[in-house]
Structure 1
Amino acid sequence: MMLAIFNAAGLMSVSPTVCGLPCFAIRDIKEGLQMGQRSSQLPPELAELAVQTGLSSSDLRRWYKQFRKDCPSGKLGLPELTRLYSQLFPGGEAAEFAGRALRALDANGDGSVDFAELAGALGSASRAAGWERRLAWAFNVYDGDGDGFISRHEMLSMLQSVYRMMGWSEKNQKDKSTAGATSGGQGEEARCSCMTPEEVVSRLFEVADVDGDSRISLEEFTEAARNDPSILSLLQTEG
């Protein structure tokens, strides 16, 4: 069930639409999370999280119970994250992406993710957070060094880690492209799904890098998504 929670945080895919953390919905956020009778009041720490994140009390209660069930220590480290992503993508290499997910979720930098940090990501990824906040969360995922800009290297490295986790190969993409052309799939979504990571990065920088400095600021990222919604399709990755 932790997979459903992580999908909700946008960390099962790459598109800013679900990330708010694109998204990457592989599984309905509420699937399998019915935990029986609910108490009438939240524990104080969860009530505070509800205020901070804007998430509903019922969702927080269910997710917290499942989190503690699957993670009795209350902390998710790199081994646990790698296992979770490996379960979802058994044919790929999940360790690198798990490390990037850890960096994005680990707000206090202690090398692990507790429930408060996960709830913060869920709050940023929810539709209630608003479009710009969700894009800002997606931007943070790609901004590997946290300097406020996405470089070509950062975006390429992130996309390559996602493609590898999903078992992507150049041959598979060529086969998919050929199949799409044969079936007449000429839409933007079909075209984007057949692009290599390098092609995706080139297209994104062509659209978003307005000042031509080979890096994308949050403002450029947000404006590009507002003016050209097709760039969100570029960040969606399908297996």
Structure 2
Amino acid sequence: MQRGFKKMKKSIQKITETSTSVQPHCVFVENMQDDEKQPLYILPERLSSLMYQTGFSKDEIRRLYRAFKQYCPRGAITTNDLKPAYAKLFPLGDSGKYAQIVFNAFDKDRNGIISFGDLLNEIALIINGDIDQKLSWIFRFYDLNGDGYITRKEMLVVISAIYEMLHNGQIIQRIVNRHVDKVFEKMDIDKDGVISQEEFMNSCKNV
């Protein structure tokens, strides 16, 4: 379970290796889910405010903003932006399904776009959050429908996507099933067929 999270964290850290300065102006984006294609203007938050909210340094925010503008010049991330980025990071496999899962985890309001502020806040939790914040984020990542429980089907979807991304699309279903079985054997304490957030966090802390 931690493997996919570490891969995602590593990919985020790669993005921060580029550098530039934050430009204090409005950027224009098009809401791709709006049937009428109405324009949407997003004003990037002030640098000092972002530093306070996320715990990132001025230089780290500038690097992330440079990468954000490079990949998303319209001012927001869509799945069409994220999937090619993951394809470059993991060229040997098919990262499309995993990229979609990552996008859904960041797109909390389900409007089909991720602003720079949204992105930065989520990255801050992944990299700078305390243990409870990080574990809560990982739990939500696997809880695909957001009902507060991880089902076997949800975990199979995520683990299968990880194997597709890392192993050239060749999923060995028996290995995936065994992986999920081991996780549920350890974390499903009350054996009700689902993993609650409390079970998840307690199990991770007791490793």
TM-score (norm 2): 0.78
How many residue pairs align between the two structures? 185
Task: Name the amino acid aligned to 1:140.
Answer: R
Question: For residue 70 of structure 2, what is the aligned residue in structure 1?
Answer: 69
Q: Measured at CA, do residues 153 and 38 of structure 1 come closer, stay the same or move farther in structure 2, by a change above 3 Å?
A: closer
What is the Cα deviation at residue 122 of structure 1?
0.9
Question: For residue 152 of structure 1, what is the aligned residue in structure 2?
Answer: 152
Greater strand content: 2
The answer for unaligned runs of 5 or more in structure 2 is 24-43
Q: Measured at CA, do residues 85 and 69 of structure 1 come closer, stay the same or move farther in structure 2, by a change above 3 Å?
A: closer
Distance in 2 separating the partners of 1:215 and 1:47: 42
Question: For residue 103 of structure 1, what is the aligned residue in structure 2?
Answer: 104
Identity of aligned residues (%): 30
Of stretches 202-211 and 106-115 in structure 1, the one that deviates more from structure 2 is: 106-115
Task: Name the amino acid aligned to 2:198.
Answer: E
What is the Cα deviation at residue 38 of structure 1?
8.4
Q: Measured at CA, do residues 129 and 26 of structure 1 come closer, stay the same or move farther in structure 2, by a change above 3 Å?
A: closer
Instruction: Map Cα deviations across residues 200-221 of structure 1 (whole Å, 9 max, x no partner).
Output: 1100111110111111111111
Task: Name the amino acid aligned to 2:186.
Answer: V
What is the Cα deviation at residue 109 of structure 1?
1.5
Task: Name the amino acid aligned to 2:17.
Answer: G
Of stretches 103-112 and 161-170 in structure 1, the one that deviates more from structure 2 is: 161-170
Task: Name the amino acid aligned to 2:175.
Answer: T
Distance in 2 separating the partners of 1:124 and 1:223: 19
Secondary structure of 1:169's match?
A: coil
Secondary structure of 2:195's match?
A: strand
Q: Measured at CA, do residues 94 and 204 of structure 1 come closer, stay the same or move farther in structure 2, by a change above 3 Å?
A: same
Instruction: Map Cα deviations across residues 59-113 of structure 1 (whole Å, 9 max, x no partner).
Output: 1122112211331101111111111111122232222112111100112211122
Query: Any runs of at least 4 consecutive aligned residues in structure 1 with deviations exceeding 6 A, and if so which?
Result: none
Question: For residue 46 of structure 1, what is the aligned residue in structure 2?
Answer: 47
Whether 1:206 aligns to 2:185 is yes
TM-score (norm 1): 0.69
The answer for unaligned runs of 5 or more in structure 1 is 1-13, 174-194, 229-239
